[in-house]
Structure 1
Amino acid sequence: MSPPCPQWDPPRGHQDEANQGTWEPLGTSAAGVGGRRWPWRGLSSTVSPRSPPRAPPLVQPRCLRQSALAPLPQTKMEGPALLQVWVLAAVALGGSWATLPDHHVLPDHRVSSETGAVFVHELEQELFQEAFFDGHEDDDVAAPITFHAHLRDHPDLPRWLRYIQRDPHQPGYLYGCPTATEVGTHTIEVLAYNRHTYGTASQRLIITITPAPDGEPPYQGEFLVGNRNVEELLPAAVQETFLQVTAGVWERDDLRVINITSALDRGGRVPLPIEGRKEGVYVKVGSWGTFSPCLVSAASPQSRFRCSLGQQPLASCYDTFAPRFAIHWCNLTLVWPSPTAPGPVWGSGVLEEEGNFQPPTEAPPQDLLPGYLVTLLVPLAVAALLCLLLGHLMCCRREGVAKRDLATSDIQLVHHTTIHGDTEELRHMAGSRDVPRPLSTLPMFNVRTGQRINPMPGSSDGARVPLLSQ
């Protein structure tokens, strides 16, 4: 940090003795102090060369000049003023495209498509280049354009429609396969950005989906093209070439492209940034005729088993698509028409002139007694049988004392009888005991003399009787 500068006051104007004028900075006329030339100007009279000004230069010292590293003074904005600034910014940014100074609105474009067929619309850059051209750009160098598309009043495209643009210098494509639930009109808003001038151009694409008169083809086959990206198969010329090659394998001429999907949308991996590596494209083709034997053999369970082992499937049409289209035959999928059962025939709902309405008859009364008896008697019968079985085991299966004694040896019986008799005799003697109690059971007992003292106090004071005799 630089040392603080002393306080400096600018000098007042110098009064000329002869002319009584005030010197102020104006141009460079005379030499000042230190060989510098200092400006001065007389306010009331001309300058006399005899009296050069002695006033110091009206130049702020270096220490008082604003440094580039010094912080700028911070100004605080009040709450209402800050809110007003935010409101003005929101209003400016929320204006419509038509109010932008460099925005162009192209006329609406209407297209139509049928269900069961692929829909492809190319966003041509030449059309938007003409809208961006203002007479100052070079005609030979086309500005890169980035497209953004979404459904009107919605932030994204409908679920059946996809958008792809690989590079700002390439056109964008809207493609998809509408189904029967998408029949109607869809308004797509397309916004183009000029990457050089930041200009914008908008166009509304009105897509009308109509049901196919013949319906969807019942026989459909899906091929995985491994050497192409999705935008390379979207042009109509490339699709026609693919159908011609497929017609030779399918052996049919009524083929049509139903859908085109990138392999990345099916869970495929992003290819490495190596020349010749492509993401892969699934192309679904439909026909009203059955499949050829070559396609059937390629999608058979035997071919699937060979594919799981890393071998080629059982098909004789490998080289038909080469070298323009590299087909992964292990990913071939064939969709056969499902047999439909005849549905109920609905009538007009109006009775005939002489017909009478026959209401359904009432249900006949049912006899619930058998069911009640079965529900009640069966558990009771089972419980009775269990009681009889338990009683037989507990009462009728007893051996008895006589039978048990006959099965026991005499020595064991005598031994048990002796024990039983001795036990009874001891119990009888204990019940009629008249012998003195053992000395050890008395409360006061002299171990040396064997004298015992009555614990019950008599006429004399028992507390004074010594425990041990002298």
Structure 2
Amino acid sequence: MEGPEPLRLWALAALVLGVARATVPEHRVLPDLRVSAETGAVFVHELERELFLEAFSGSEDDDAPVTFRAHLWDHPDLPRWLRFIQRDPGQPGFLYGCPLAPELGTHSIQVLAYNRHTFATVSQRLLVSVTPAPGGDAPFQAEFLVGNRNVEELLPEAAREMFLQASAGVWGRGDLHVINVTSALDRGGRVPLPIEGRREGVYVQVGSHSPFSPCLASAVSPLSRSRCHRGQRPLASCYDTFAPDFSIRWCNLTLLQVWPSPTTPGPVWGPGVLGEGGDFEPPTPVVAREFLPSFLVTLLVPLAVAALLCLLLGHLMCCRREGVEKRDLQTSDLQLLHHSSIHGDSRELRLMATSRDVPRPLSTLPMFNVRTGQRSDPMGNLRDGARAPLLPH
């Protein structure tokens, strides 16, 4: 009877282990991917669904929805210059942004993708190396607002090349490159109504080393701005260059001229730097200084000034008082007599008031009769007192 019991326990453990393995989603890790980015130019990396669908083991559904997440390695957020967007699980994701000079170096980004059907996950580390642009930042930059596109529609390379070709017709130059692409929602725009054909809008920043064309300059002139405030079209002769693929809001056109920042000079070696093969010579000893006179001046001068001020204040408060006798000598006799008589009369009235024993005058009583001197209580009977006459007939 002891044999079947261990066998039953082994079978139960195997069943539990199999269920646990079946319920835990599978996770796979792809090799690291290294990409490069330049300062002053847009960086776009597309997260392809097909690459991650192949990594899902046992996934035979090519149309399975895949959701991407991206953040810094061991950090919850992305770098401040990098943004991520994925409109729908059936569409690819995009990492895009424009790095600047402070972002030089290597940024480690972790990308996580999971299958919405099987809940399997795949992770990959993306190493973005930011290097300075060979030609420096473009001094002439123009920012266009495209009203009929969403941001993910202008991130593919084909769409950006098409926009650069349209911009070259406006600019009159061919050395153009896209500096940055930003959704209008990130710049304070409103979410469009769920109507077919409505888009969020995209700000596309284009740079060049050539000056602006007269068409662009006329579009941002004060006369054009005033026409925009009145709801009219600005003054520009290059409206048809972007049509019909891109609808440009010319009233939101911004032209910016960037001047190169001056480079900070490097450190200048002084005479204290030891040359090659030289001997170190210590500085001469410092001459001893006597600090007692300075200490006495710092301590005694404020004490002397305070003592003089105390003596002056004491003289004014104690030695400059007039006194009663001196004041009386300077006052006329008639004024002194008048003052003393007022004091005497006031004292006499106070003494008479304390020794007065006469009754109160009848005029001070509540109610009285002038002829009889009869007094009545006004609070005795309110109803009868209101009807009774003040003086008897």
Q: Determine which of 209, 213, 216 is the counterpart of 1:295.
A: 216
> d(CA) in 1 for partners of 2:266 and 2:129?
33
Q: Determine which of 28, 36, 39 is the counterpart of 1:115.
A: 39
Q: Which runs of 5+ in 1 are unaligned?
A: 1-99, 352-442, 445-470
Q: Determine which of 237, 246, 260 is the counterpart of 2:181.
A: 260
1:231 paired to 2:152: yes
Tell me the equivalent position of 2:352.
none
> d(CA) in 2 for partners of 1:126 and 1:103?
17
> d(CA) in 2 for partners of 1:193 and 1:316?
50
What TM-score comes out, normalization by structure 1 length?
Answer: 0.51
Counting only pairs closer than 5 Å after superposition, residues 269-418 of structure 1 correspond to structure 2 as 269-338=190-259, 349-350=270-271
1:179 paired to 2:103: no
What's the offset of the Cα at 1:242? 0.5
Change (3 A) 1:342 1:122: closer
SS at match of 1:129: helix
1:128 paired to 2:49: no
> d(CA) in 2 for partners of 1:240 and 1:234?
10
What's the offset of the Cα at 1:342? 9.9
SS at match of 2:169: helix
1:104 paired to 2:25: no
Tell me the equivalent position of 1:153.
74
Which amino acid in the other structure matches residue 123 of structure 1? L
What's the offset of the Cα at 1:337? 3.3
SS at match of 1:247: helix
Higher helix share: 2
Which amino acid in the other structure matches residue 38 of structure 2? E
1:191 paired to 2:112: yes
Which amino acid in the other structure matches residue 111 of structure 1? V
What's the offset of the Cα at 1:215? 1.1
SS at match of 2:44: strand
SS at match of 2:58: coil
> d(CA) in 1 for partners of 2:165 and 2:223?
28
Is residue 70–residue 84 contact of structure 2 (8 Å, CA) maintained in 1?
Answer: yes
1:213 paired to 2:134: yes
> d(CA) in 1 for partners of 2:226 and 2:112?
49
1:280-327 superposed Cα distances (whole Å, 9 cap, x missing partner): 000000000100000000011111111000001010011110000000
Q: Which runs of 5+ in 2 are unaligned?
A: 1-23, 273-356, 359-393
SS at match of 1:297: helix
1:143-168 superposed Cα distances (whole Å, 9 cap, x missing partner): 00000100011111111000000000
What's the offset of the Cα at 1:247? 0.5
1:247 paired to 2:171: no
Is residue 25–residue 118 contact of structure 2 (8 Å, CA) maintained in 1?
Answer: no
> d(CA) in 1 for partners of 2:80 and 2:266?
35
% identical aligned pairs: 70
Which amino acid in the other structure matches residue 103 of structure 1? H
Which amino acid in the other structure matches residue 146 of structure 1? T
Runs of 4+ that moved beyond 2 A:
337-351
SS at match of 1:296: helix
> d(CA) in 2 for partners of 1:350 and 1:216?
38
Q: Determine which of 140, 143, 149 is the counterpart of 2:64.
A: 143
> d(CA) in 2 for partners of 1:326 and 1:240?
16
Change (3 A) 1:299 1:268: same
Change (3 A) 1:101 1:250: same
> d(CA) in 2 for partners of 1:349 and 1:296?
51
Is residue 39–residue 132 contact of structure 2 (8 Å, CA) maintained in 1?
Answer: yes
Is residue 25–residue 119 contact of structure 2 (8 Å, CA) maintained in 1?
Answer: no
> d(CA) in 2 for partners of 1:239 and 1:155?
30
SS at match of 1:120: strand
1:179-238 superposed Cα distances (whole Å, 9 cap, x missing partner): 000000101001101000111111111100011122110000000000000000000011
Change (3 A) 1:125 1:339: closer
SS at match of 1:190: strand
Change (3 A) 1:126 1:344: closer
SS at match of 1:258: strand
Change (3 A) 1:302 1:349: farther
Higher mean displacement: 263-272 or 208-217: 208-217
> d(CA) in 2 for partners of 1:108 and 1:342?
36
- What is the RMSD of the two structures over their aligned residues, measured on CA atoms? 2.5
> d(CA) in 2 for partners of 1:205 and 1:344?
36
Is residue 25–residue 121 contact of structure 2 (8 Å, CA) maintained in 1?
Answer: no
> d(CA) in 2 for partners of 1:331 and 1:127?
39
Change (3 A) 1:344 1:154: closer
Which amino acid in the other structure matches residue 54 of structure 2? E
What's the offset of the Cα at 1:338? 4.0
Change (3 A) 1:343 1:167: closer
> d(CA) in 2 for partners of 1:118 and 1:311?
33
What's the offset of the Cα at 1:134? 1.3
Which amino acid in the other structure matches residue 306 of structure 1? R
What's the offset of the Cα at 1:343? 8.2
